[in-house]
Structure 1
Amino acid sequence: MQEHFIGAGDSPASTTQWAMAEIINNPNILRRLREEIDFVAGKKRLVQETDLPKLPYLQAVIDETLRMHPVGAVFPREFQQECTIGGFYIAKGTTLVFNSYAVMRDPDYWEDPHKFKPERFLASSGSWQEEERREQAMKLLPFGGGRIRCPGSNVAYIIVGTAIGVMVQCFDWKIKRGYEVNMEETSGLQFFLALAHPLECIPLSRTLNPLPTNPQITDL
């Protein structure tokens, strides 16, 4: 039960912080993302959950964030039956620790694996699109995979997507100290990867913003 509460609370919050840190450090991504949101939602209302399927670049930003900064770097799994893999006999009950962080930064599978490039997740046109999608699903593993994939992944995408969408739509963001967010990593709850230094920013209201316009220091 503890894992469910920690996973439901810490995972979306951590992913949102990582995403905003990458967006703030990449003005071109912020600009493109904001243009997409303004086109879909307009400038008279906030972006909503129902808008998310129409925001492919926002989805790509979230996927790229999860690839580079998975909330869980390793996944323990237990074999339910004996088998042979690569010529090695694996006994029933053997525990396997799967390093998703390494897989999602493997240069053999990802071009420029240490660079934040949401464009890599934008769908291609033509019949190759479905094949590409299946191949990416085998490499993008922030929630595990197969039958034991995290059941809350769809809810997490909605929470994170809506939160990022509103923050990008309503505010410009100024870093409290320096000119770039420090992306150093540290282990958080249950070995979740988190920012080593709190993300402290000043939100600057845009034209579309029904909230108070006085800038305040905000910890994301």
Structure 2
Amino acid sequence: MDLIAGGTESSAVTVEWAISELLKKPEVIAKATEELDRVIGRGRWVTEKDIPQLPYVDAIVKETMRLHPVAPLLVPRLAREDATVAGYDIPAGTRVLVSVWSIGRDPALWESPEAFMPERFLGSKLDVKGQDYELLPFGSGRRMCPGYSLGLKVIQVSLANLLHGFTWSLPNGMTKEELNMEEIFGLSTPRKFPLEAVVKPKLPAHLYAEA
């Protein structure tokens, strides 16, 4: 139950950040919508089996996790033996904290690291499954998040259906420049202020009744 509860909260935070970034980039929403209409059509909802055919939606998820990892610091590690990393001596017994927030914004690893650019993942083999150290939202190794597979699927399908089933806009004439993107920096990094948006359905009415 703890695994499911934790995965639900972290997934919701990630989806909220994704929608926030997309509201500042309507051209990205347009590209995602085009992909969804082409692959899924307007007659049904997105399912888990559709995700491999939605590379642009998947790229949005990865880019969101790069900029907004739910846990900015991975679970602490303990050095079992003396080691040297990038010229730094790390004695055995040292507690090591890995900042995935900093890795995701490192200009030595990412072009325009502060920009939200899902296209950077199109055609890229970088994944979030712990094998690529540039992108570690779930950690890596034996202490990797045990619920990463469930959490990733929930994020992908939830975001895909929110984009597929609804149009999104900012409320009360707010401009994208006025959208506050401050985060709370702690054990997790949710938005400082909850996202407010105007949402309108765009699929046939019977699909919402069945959902």
TM-score tier by shorter-chain length is 0.7 to 0.9
Q: Are 1:59 and 2:58 matched, yes or no?
A: yes
Cα deviation code 1:51-105 (max 9, x no counterpart): 011111111000000000000001242325222214624123x211111111110
Secondary structure of the equivalent of 2:22? helix
Instruction: List structure 1 runs of 4+ shifted beyond 6 angstroms.
Output: none
Cα deviation code 1:130-173 (max 9, x no counterpart): xx669x82200111123322122121121111111111111111
The answer for the alignment partner of 1:147 in structure 2 is 142
CA distance in 1, matches of 2:135, 2:42: 33
CA distance in 2, matches of 1:133, 1:44: 31
Is the Cα–Cα contact under 8 Å of residues 76 and 95 in structure 1 kept in the other structure? no
Q: Does 64-73 or 40-49 show the bigger shift?
A: 40-49
For normalisation by structure 1, the TM-score amounts to 0.83
The answer for the alignment partner of 2:91 in structure 1 is 90
Counterpart mapping for 1:63-82 below 5 A: 63-79=62-78, 81-82=80-81
The answer for the alignment partner of 1:103 in structure 2 is 103
Is the Cα–Cα contact under 8 Å of residues 43 and 203 in structure 2 kept in the other structure? no
Q: Are 1:39 and 2:38 matched, yes or no?
A: yes
Q: Are 1:23 and 2:22 matched, yes or no?
A: yes
CA distance in 2, matches of 1:184, 1:81: 38
Say what the alpha-carbon RMSD is for the aligned residues: 2.4
CA distance in 2, matches of 1:50, 1:30: 21
Is the Cα–Cα contact under 8 Å of residues 79 and 95 in structure 2 kept in the other structure? no
How many residue pairs align between the two structures? Answer: 202
Structure 1 gap segments, 5+ residues each: 213-220
CA distance in 1, matches of 2:52, 2:159: 14
Letter aligned with residue 35 of structure 1? E
CA distance in 2, matches of 1:156, 1:97: 23
Structure 2 gap segments, 5+ residues each: none
Q: Are 1:169 and 2:164 matched, yes or no?
A: yes
For normalisation by structure 2, the TM-score amounts to 0.86
Secondary structure of the equivalent of 1:173? strand
Secondary structure of the equivalent of 1:98? coil
Is the Cα–Cα contact under 8 Å of residues 69 and 189 in structure 2 kept in the other structure? yes
